Amino acid sequence: MNLLGSIRSPADLKALPPSALPQVCAEIRHAICDQVSKSGGHLAPNLGVVELTVAMHYVFDFAFDRLLFDVGHQCYTHKLLTGRQHLLPRLRQRGGMSGFPEPRESNFDLFTVGHAGTAIPTAVGMARGDTLNGEGWSVDRPNGRRTVSLIGDASIVNGVAMEGLNNAGTLKRQFLIVLNDNGMSIAKPQGAVSAYFDRLRLSHTYGEFKKRAKEMARHMPGGESLKELYHRMGESSKAFIAENHWFEHFGLVTVGPIDGHDLPTLIDFLNEAKHFDHPMVLHVKTVKGKGYEFAENDACAFHSPSAFKIETMENEGCKVEMKKGGRSFTAAFGEILTSLMERDPKVVACTAAMPDGTGVNKVIDKFPTRVWDSGICESHAFDMMAGLAKTGWKPFFAVYSTFLQRAFDQAFQEAALQGLPVRLCLDRAGLVGGDGAVHHGFCDIALLAVLPKACIMAAMDESSLRACVDFMNDYSEGISSVRYPRDNVSPRFEGVPCPPFELGRARQLVAHESPDAAILTFGVCAIDAAEALTKLDGEYAVELYDGRFAKPIDGELLQRLLGAGIPVITVEDHSIRGGFGAAVLETCNALGLDTRLVTRMALPDQWIYQGERKEQLAEAGIDGAAIARIVRSILQGSDLQESGHQGKLVVEHSPTAVTSK
């Protein structure tokens, strides 16, 4: 009998006897693995929290109580238990299940999340709000809302999480932090806190906890003694109170570590935590990738794999084969950085918990004293790079565009304001596909453009990425950055000589003696624009330029084109607010050029959700077909609003914005 198919809400789960829960967990694991093998997605993180999630829903009522996920890429089991099994076949696709918590899908998801460290602070806010509303759980209000925050051992060291912990200990009510400790983030967690958890797993046994529990009487913040709290706890939790635990210094009673795959134990502990009127941490030890040997043995590779195929081999177990794609920008960057570090001994590099995702894994082993993984600590990583720059090194910080946002203050204060040349390599810039809105790199240009002497660039293919990195290595006036997408490098201009980057100079890709219009692109949009020229099939003489720099803009090129009355279309996969096109308009204004000849194509001022990257480009109206339509509209003198366009195309024909839907 298929039990999972009968669960349409947590109420159906609660109706099952505890003895049926292991079967539910097995069916959930099979469903997740089967789907991720077809569509890609976060596999190992979700396999590791199946029992934990089932137990939490079995004990709490999250239709009423509060459950907040940190990062959120471990939420698949939660979604399958809360009425979304029908969305699983389109995981991370348009119209299907988002790979992260998504309130648009269900009221069981409280926040759209995809960045680490936020679960505890937002949970503290909701706990305070519920208390102020007279709805928070307490001994005197047994029907009130409880609050649970689920966070991983790698996320707990994030600065925002630390700030949340500092405030969580001041709550005078029930508040449960479930620490999912699997000894992993995407890669092996880094730093002293991670080492502390490693020691804790090895040294603390049930017998030691039992012996210590009865002897504790040390005072906790708030005036209550641990002895008093101890008497209010259940028998199971008493045995596992952790004396001198790191969290105790935040005013949090800490229980564990306990086995995160032992359902009866989990249910017992959660039932006791449910009725404990003091902030508590339940330390749960899990195995990332649990249930599938290939995922357990290589949790990094199966953290968020693309589609794969599992074959059972006689006498050899199972064989997993990843579907092969083209050469990614990430792989290209890893090799480019390796080559640079071989040539220049002053180059150092860092990533924030993303060695595989940024390609830095290729150089960590080769240059162990010059490359670091800081863990999920983007702000620290940026400041560390600034410190290295101050001492004469050439730092490269490889970080996802979406995570750069978390370190903007450091970019301003410790790097730009000091005139320090920190070099930013921004992976996952623009539209990212299946991860959706939480991970789009849509505002890095706008953030960095306000910083004096910042040099902002983009790569359109592998050869331009290599040339850009070489330029950054020699740029010492301030911050420099290069953006590139989560995509494969295009071979379209392979074999065409790639000139070196020159500050503020665009590169001409297609020339005409008497052009009708010019397309000025930023980064990989040059490839889409080249496709548009193919679709136009010689209909018009359209020049194509790779803008290369969003700061500084090639003013001489604009003077030549606009001075001759040639319409210019800018194309970028960044927000239309504050991006490359906006910088073009500012430059035109400063030079006294006619901005009415400039049309901007960029990401619309709205959220774009999960799907394939090519679908998102079409929705944003910046794919090859959309660019060709806009060129025709401009040169035919027609209104930019086209009744035949089915996407949500947003262009701005200066000075008036025109939207077609």
* CA-closest candidate to residue 401, choices 546, 572, 527, 545: 572
| CB 520, CB 562: distance < 8 Å | no
Question: What is d(CA 171, CA 603) in angstroms, rounded to the nearest whole number?
Answer: 42
| CB 259, CB 265: distance < 8 Å | yes
State yes or no: cis peptide before 45, omega within 30 of 0.
no
* CA-closest candidate to residue 398, choices 336, 466, 350, 452: 350
| CB 42, CB 25: distance < 8 Å | no
DSSP letter for 496, please.
Answer: S
The answer to whether residue 440 scores a pLDDT higher than 60 is yes
| Residue scoring higher pLDDT (433 or 227) | 433
For residue 574, what are its two tokens? 């960044």
| Residue scoring higher pLDDT (587 or 229) | 587
Q: Just give the CATH number of 507-659.
A: 3.40.50.920
**pLDDT tens digits for range 12-56:** 999 999 999 999 999 999 999 999 999 999 999 999 999 999 999
Mean pLDDT of 362-380: 94
**pLDDT tens digits for range 479-510:** 999 999 999 999 999 989 999 999 999 999 99
How many residues are recorded in the chain?
661
Please list the active-site residues: 288, 378, 406
Look at residue 249 in the predicted model and tell me its pLDDT. 80
Mean pLDDT of 174-197: 69
From the CB of residue 498, how many other CB atoms can be counted at a distance below 10 Å? 18
**pLDDT tens digits for range 230-263:** 555 555 555 556 555 678 888 888 888 899 999 9
Look at residue 661 in the predicted model and tell me its pLDDT. 26
Residue whose tokens read 């911050």 = 479
Residue extents of the structural domains in the chain:
4-285, 329-483, 507-659
SS (H, E, C) 271-322: HHHHCCCCEEEEEEECCCCCCCHHHHHCCCCCCCCCCEEEEEECCCEEEEEE
| CB 559, CB 657: distance < 8 Å | no
Look at residue 657 in the predicted model and tell me its pLDDT. 32
Task: For the chain, give the mean pLDDT.
Answer: 88
**pLDDT tens digits for range 151-184:** 998 899 898 999 999 999 999 999 999 999 987 5
The alpha-carbon radius of gyration of the chain (Å, integer) is: 27
The answer to whether residue 226 scores a pLDDT higher than 90 is no
Q: Just give the CATH number of 329-483.
A: 3.40.50.970
Helix or strand holding residue 545 (H, E): strand 542-546
Look at residue 240 in the predicted model and tell me its pLDDT. 58
Asked whether this chain's domains 4-285 and 507-659 adopt the same fold, the reply is: yes
From the CB of residue 90, how many other CB atoms can be counted at a distance below 10 Å? 15
* CATH architecture classification, 4-285: 3-Layer(aba) Sandwich (3.40)
Question: What is d(CA 443, CA 405) in angstroms, rounded to the nearest whole number?
Answer: 8
Burial class (CB in 10 A: 0-12, 13-18, 19+), 244: exposed
Q: Which residues contact 350 (CB under 8 A, 6 or more apart)?
A: 360, 371, 372, 373, 374, 381, 384, 385, 395, 396, 397, 398
Look at residue 637 in the predicted model and tell me its pLDDT. 82
Question: What is d(CA 93, CA 448) in angstroms, rounded to the nearest whole number?
Answer: 31
* CA-closest candidate to residue 284, choices 246, 258, 312: 258
* CA-closest candidate to residue 503, choices 556, 543, 541, 463: 556
Task: State the pLDDT confidence band at 363, using cuts at 50, 70 and 90.
Answer: very high
